[in-house]
Structure formats: structure tokens, C-alpha cells
Amino acid sequence: MNWWIVLFSAVVILSIIRYATRPLAFRKKLTLIALRIIQALLIFIAFFEPVFHFQRISSDISNIPVLIDASQSMSLFEVDSAVTPFLNKLQQSNDFSDTKSKKYQLILFGDSVRKVTDFNKISFTDKRSVFPSAHDKMLNNSNVFFIISDANWSNTVPLDFFSNKTIYYLQLPELKRSPFLRILSSEFSPSKAGSASVLHLTIEGRIVEDKPITISVVEKNRLITEQVLNEAPGFFKRTLDLKIPTATPGKHLYRINAVHSDSLRSSASILRYVTPDKFLYQLSSSFPTLDRRFLSLSLSKHQEFKRNDNESREKDDCIFFFSWNDTSASALKKLKQQGIAVFIGCLPCSKHKTFTPAASDFITMVPGNTIFVNQDILQKLPPPSKIMVCPELSPYTPLLSLSIKGKITSDTVPLLFSTQWKGYHALVFGASNFWQLDFWPMSTEYSEEQAFSFSELFLTVVKEQLYSRISEQYFIYPSESTDESDSISFSVSFPSTIPVSGKTDIRFSIKDMAGKNVLDTTIETINTGSTKQKFTIRPIAGGKYIYSSSIHFNNKEYSFSDSLYIEKHNQELQVPGQNTLLLNEIGQPVSLKDITLLTEKLKKENSGADLFIEDSIQLNRNWWLLIMILAFLAIEWIYRRSAGLD
């Protein structure tokens, strides 16, 4: 490599001498020599890709970082008696340090990272506790630092970050427990018209006053049931079974309130579907098929379904079509207006396309579909033998798709989808040999004895779509616990008259108790036919509000309004204590009485030491470098022509 450099330098020097001996004006000689030197440097960089090493002194060589957690959870640890005296001792050490000694630099972290100018003005009010390892250069360059935190951090910090560092943490006293109430889960047992139901409810919390907790279930401001919990002060967790009386068929929205005091409460909403005694159904096909046989066996296991007599005047809630012709079309006359037409292995189209999937194609779950969640076993099933596609059944909402791998790109086609057809709600399985999905071998990952039934999953979809169409009522309600620190998720239950797969604009607004607008927006959504459709709004401050919503269809307005309680953010106030398990793994404890001796030790070890940081820069060849070389060659050629050398 050295001989190459010598040869390269010799060529450059000779070219410079050649220009210097030319009979040209001094300025032109100087310009040509400068152009040749620039070209030589650029070619040198492109050929050898040199690396430049240099050292710099860290700007923070005289500082020992002290990381102070400013989140709300720290206020639970007697800050005035534990943290403040410790910081005061560090400040005294800084005041008596000379210029060559390391000093303590106080840094707050939580919602953000910032330096402390006056530790007496530190307020522990941050709503998160994000440890700053990922973006703080000073910590990466420091061999020693202190942590004053409960170590219940909001982010995950890799333990590798703490290797090769000496870390001390302040031991905190036992915390003061903050009271809270939280409804963890709620679920209704299946209920039919004329029969009571049970609401399974799990609630937990921590109370400090010896007062009862009132659990109430309310529908449209009407008290449905109430239960009183007498819990001793401290932490508790209870699972309750509340008996809910009979209700008319349809949808019923209940609000669950847990109240201990005016400042300690929690609420949740739940939608109850009260079904008719039975869902009446019919099977329609021109000839016996295995699809019909196996689905009929699955239907016989579900007490919610009852086969309707052909001679009965009562209309059907659901008709399963296994073939389609003029006779099948006449069967639709017996389908209720809010009923569902289910097509299995056939399409109600005059023309449709049929194609055969490749062995590499596979079934995929559509994101957001709650029924097939955790059903990754579906992806192990072989693709159906034939897929039918009909442009007439558009728009549609896919529930299952088939992923098709092409030579260049991939695509998906609907396998199971809901749509609107001739004024009826339709559920379509557009593939042949439906029955084989229950019995085809899947893969070596699953044993042959593993229980799996696609028919059962399919009937779960049918039931869910029947539930969503048993009422013309419109409901919108918070689907999860509401907290001021996070976005609020609302569930929507559309009236049965809103067509599936149709676009719907939801007008939504929130007002405070004084009538002032907090939020007013329009949300564009599509009715998928599911009972669990959701949308999300931005976080709003804790407190009590009134929300209202409306939709329009065929010159008719559907509206709903209710109260909304947003809980104050208290996740930081629910920490179990200082996470000493983590802190002991990464560092060693220190107390107020240890800090004087420890400071002297650190000063003695680091006094007058300079912290050098080595950096390097490599110049790589690239397109921009090539363009610059060609540009300077072109400039030299033009200048040579103007000077009369070429």
C-alpha cells in the first residue's frame, strides 16, 4: 500500500511540474495546478478510502451524573425526609470542590430529561418515568453515576447499558400507598328473552378509609342492581356475580359504577345482547352436499339455533345456501328483513370468476377481527381447491382472506366476507369444499388429535352478526377503562338498518358539565357487521363529561348520549414499591450516612483526570464523489481550452 502512495504522489508531482514549466501567465498556472491537486485528492479518497482518527476531551469530564426520577410515584416515598437531605449533601460537596475535582450534576428524568438548577424546586409531578439511557450522551460517557428512583420505569432499559459502569442508588423508605379503584373485567353470561342473566365482574383497589364500596349497574339512569362491598383498608381484589333481571330481546347498554367516595370511583360500560328464544334457520341446496351435511351437524350442537319447518309461517333469522338457482332465490321470501343470508361454496351472482390457488397460498386473518384472534392455526390449513370472486358483491368487509404469492407481488382475495345484497345482510364463504377445513391435515406443528373445528368458528361469526342485527337501537360507549393519560377507545353498535360495508359518518362530541365543548368531530367508519367496532379519540383531562353521537341513514337520525367519567391518571401512584431487584442487579445501595466517605473516594480516584473520547471518520467512495471528480476534470478541460493548451 505504501508503494502505491509513493507512485501516486510521484505522478501528481510530475503533473504539477509539467504545468509549472508551461509558458503561461502565473494566475493560469496557479489555477491549473490547484485543479490538478483537487482532482488528485478526490481520486486518492476514492481509491484508498482513508480513515481519520482523533481524540477530544469530553465536555462533562468534571461531572458525575445524578439521575433523579421526577415521576408522581416518587412522591409516595417521603421525599422531604429521604431525597431532599441526600441532594443537599451532594450540593454541599459541590460547593467545597475545587476546579479539578469531579462535581455532581443533577439531572431530572420522567416525561423528559432536563438539568436541575435548584434542587429545592424539584416537583415530582411527571406522569411517566422514562429512563434516559437511549438518548443521553453524558451517561454513555460516564463511568460513575447515581440513580435516585423507585426503578418502576415506563420504558425497558437494556442491562448491557449498565455494564462497565459503577452505579449507586439511593435506598428509599417504605412508600405511602395511594388509594385507587379499578374495574378489571366484565362479562355477561348468554341470556335469552324471558330469563335472567349474570354479570361476572372483577374489581380491585386500595382504600384507606373504612367505608363501604357501592357497586351499581345502571341502564338509562335506571338502577338495575346494586351491591355493597365492605372491605378493610388496604388492597383488595374481588370477583362478583351480579344477577341482572330479564329484559326484552335486543341490545341493552349498562354502566357499571364502583364508588367509594367522591374522589375515588371507577366506571365501565358493557353491552348486553338479549336474544330471542331461538334463531330460526333453513338449509337450502338443490342436492345433498358434504358442506351441508357437516354444517348441519355443527348447528345441532348449538342450542341457540332451531331449524324452521318448511310449512311454518314464521320467517327465518338465517338461511344457509349451498347452491344458487331460481328455487334458492324464492327461499329469500321467508328471510326476516334483519336476517342474514349465508352463502357457502356458492355465490348469488349471474357471473363469477373461479380460480385455483397454488399450494403456497395461505389463509390470513384480517387485522382488527376479534373472532379469529389467536387463531393462527388457520394459516396452517391448505388453501381451498377453488375460490370464487364476484364483482357484484361489492363493497364488502373481509373477515378472512387468502394470500396469493405472485412472481413479483403478492395479493389477497376475500375468502369469508360480509356484504349487502338485494337489501339483505349477506355472509359469504366463497370457496368450495367447506367441510374439508375441519379435516385436512395442518402441519407437523399440530397433532392430528388437536381439537379444531372451522365450522364452530364459522358459526361464531354467524351468531355475532345475528346479534348485531337484533335491534334498531344505536349505542356508543367507552369500551375500556378511561384514563386522562391515554387515548379513549369507544365501541359502536349500529342499528340493524345500517347496511353492512357501507360508509357511515359518526358525529361525535364531548362537553363538560358546564356545557363547554371539549371535542366536536366527525368520524368516517364502515359498518363491518361486527358487534365490536371501535374508534379512538385523543386524551382529555380527568373529570365528568357528557358525550353525544348521531348518525344519519335514509333521512333518519339515530342518536345516543350518556355521561362519561375520565379517571385521573394514577398509574404512577400504583407502584408496589422500590424495584430493588433491578437496582441490586445493576448497582449498589447508598444512604445519607455513606455519601460523605463515598464522595471523598470518588474525588481521590478521579481528581485531575481527563476523559478522552476517540472518534474516527472514514471517507468512503460514493456517487457524489464520482460526480465531483468528473466535474473538476470537465472544469480543467474547459480551462485548458481557454488557455490554448488543447
Q: List, for residues 444-466, the tens digit of each pLDDT value.
A: 455 555 667 788 889 988 988 88
Count CB atoms within 10 A of the CB of residue 488.
22
**Is 634 a residue whose pLDDT tops 60?**
yes
Segment 401-415 shows an average pLDDT of: 73
Predicted local distance difference test score (pLDDT) of residue 116: 82
Could you tell me if 586 and 142 are in contact, meaning their C-beta atoms sit under 8 angstroms apart?
no
Give yes or no for residue 137 having a pLDDT over 70. Answer: no
Band of pLDDT at residue 343, cut at 50, 70 and 90: very high
Q: What is the mean pLDDT of residues 35-45?
A: 80
Mean pLDDT over 308-329 rounds to: 87
User: pLDDT tens digits for 497-536?
Assistant: 888 877 889 999 999 999 999 999 999 888 887 777 888 8
Q: Which stretches does DSSP call E strand in 480-516?
A: 488-493, 503-512
Pick the more confident residue, 468 or 550.
Answer: 550
Gap between the Cα atoms of 53 and 619, Å rounded: 12
| Mean pLDDT along residues 605-627 | 66
Question: DSSP labels for 564-590?
Answer: EEEBPP-SGGG--S--HHHHHHH-EEE
Query: What value does the mean pLDDT of the chain take?
Result: 82
Query: Is pLDDT above 80 for 557?
Result: yes
Query: pLDDT digits over 46-102, tens only?
Result: 777 777 766 554 544 557 888 899 888 888 787 778 888 888 888 888 877 765 667
Which span out of 54-58, 569-573, 625-629 was modeled with the highest average pLDDT? 625-629
Count the helix, strand and coil residues of the chain and give each as a percent rounded to the nearest 5: 25, 35, 35
Q: What's residue 179's pLDDT?
A: 82
Which pairing describes strands 362-365 and 588-590: parallel, antiparallel, or unpaired?
unpaired
pLDDT at 620 over 50: yes
- Residue in 293, 289, 283 with CA at minimum distance from that of residue 319: 283
H helix and E strand count, the chain:
10, 33
Q: What is the pLDDT of residue 427?
A: 93
Q: Is 451 exposed, middle or buried (0-12, 13-18, 19+ CB in 10 A)?
A: exposed
The average pLDDT across 391-409 equals 77
Residue 6 pLDDT > 90: no
Confidence of residue 215 (pLDDT cuts 50, 70, 90): very high
Q: Which of the four pLDDT bands, split at 50, 70 and 90, describes residue 227? A: very high
Higher-confidence residue of 250 and 364: namely 250
Percent of the residues in the chain that have a pLDDT greater than 70, as a whole number:
87
pLDDT band at 150 (very low <50, low <70, confident <90, very high): confident
DSSP 530: -
Residue 222 has pLDDT above 50, yes or no: yes
Band of residue 609 on the pLDDT scale cut at 50, 70, 90: very low
pLDDT 10s digits, 354-365: 888 887 777 777
Mean pLDDT of all residues in 543-571: 86
Strands 424-429 and 543-553: unpaired
Does the pLDDT of residue 406 top 80, yes or no?
Answer: no
pLDDT of residue 608: 43
Angle at CA of residue 594, ends 592 and 600, nearest 5°: 120
Q: For 364-381, what is the mean pLDDT?
A: 68
CA angle (480, 481, 487) in 5-degree steps: 80
What average pLDDT does the segment 582-602 reach?
84
**Helix, strand or coil, per DSSP, at residue 232:** coil
Cell of 287: 342436492
Taking the C-alpha atoms of 472, 477, 480 and 486 in order, what is their torsion angle to the nearest 10 degrees?
A: 140
Q: Do 167 and 599 meet the contact criterion of CB atoms below 8 Å apart?
A: no
pLDDT at 43 over 70: yes
Q: Which of 41-45, 261-265, 426-430, 609-613 has the lowest mean pLDDT?
A: 609-613
Q: Is the pLDDT of residue 611 over 50?
A: no
Q: Say which residue, 140 or 316, is predicted with more confidence.
A: 316
Average pLDDT over residues 36-40: 81
Banded pLDDT at 637 (limits 50, 70, 90): confident
Side-chain-side CA neighbours of residue 52 (13 Å):
5
- pLDDT greater than 80 at residue 353: yes
* pLDDT at residue 622 tops 70: yes
Does 613 have pLDDT greater than 80? Answer: no
Ranges 140-144, 268-272, 512-516: which has the least confidence:
140-144
User: What's the confidence (pLDDT) of residue 125?
Assistant: 83
Q: How confident is the model at residue 619 (pLDDT cuts 50, 70, 90)?
A: confident
Provide the grid cell at 515.
356545557
pLDDT class for 372, splitting at 50, 70, 90? low
